[in-house]
Amino acid sequence: MNTHVHADHITGTGLIKDMVPGVKSVISKASHSKADLLIEAGDKICLGSLFLEVRATPGHTLGCVTYVTGDGLDQPYPRMAFTGDTLLIRGCGRTDFQGGSSSQLYQSVHSQIFTLPKDTLVYPAHDYKGFTVSTVGEEMLYNPRLTKDEETFKSIMENLNLPYPKMIDVAVPANMVCGLQDRAAKA
């Protein structure tokens, strides 16, 4: 299950599909990528009696989604949000390529993630400081970018001056086919 088309690494989806027959690749329809299952906001992905709700959270990239555990007595408590690069622990994904938009990212986080219960656990795609989990409440209080108003947030994002991702020219084409590029070459 991919949260978006990554620019900094190649997804492991292709390798997993090769090692585990029957596994299906998943990515959002809005990403314009290829996968076995193209998902949209509001879809539910069932895992036995558990389910994940798909929330569209574009901004880092055009097709970003967040997977949120279900709300109900038979679902995990506290809820969990798998945010990809939309919301990181004390940060967020960059918005300067792949259809990114600072305004859209701000709106996505505030309308789709910060509206979840404050004790919802936040699991980002990765973290560069060794943190693995936060909560919606913590990020609402301590995220140095997303606690600001939208105009200040946009200014921060426009002035990050980050280098061009080293892997982007390899990773994006591979991830547009969910890491299955080698399989197509072998056929």
Q: What is the pLDDT of residues 63-108, one digit of tens each?
A: 999 999 999 999 999 999 999 999 999 999 999 988 999 999 999 9
Q: Is the pLDDT of residue 58 over 70?
A: yes
Q: Containing domain of residue 142, as a range?
A: 39-162
Judge if the upstream peptide bond of residue 78 is cis by omega within 30 degrees of 0.
Answer: yes
33 lies in a domain? no
43 lies in a domain? yes
65 lies in a domain? yes
Cα 100 to the center of its chain, rounded Å:
13
- Measured CA to CA, the distance from residue 99 to residue 56 in angstroms comes to 14
Top pLDDT among 97 and 112 is at 112
81 lies in a domain? yes
| pLDDT tens digits along 119-166 | 999 999 988 888 999 999 999 999 999 999 999 999 999 999 999 889
- Residue 88 near residue 123, CB atoms below 8 Å: no
Structural domains counted in the chain: 1
Q: Residue 56 sits in a domain of what CATH number?
A: 3.60.15.10
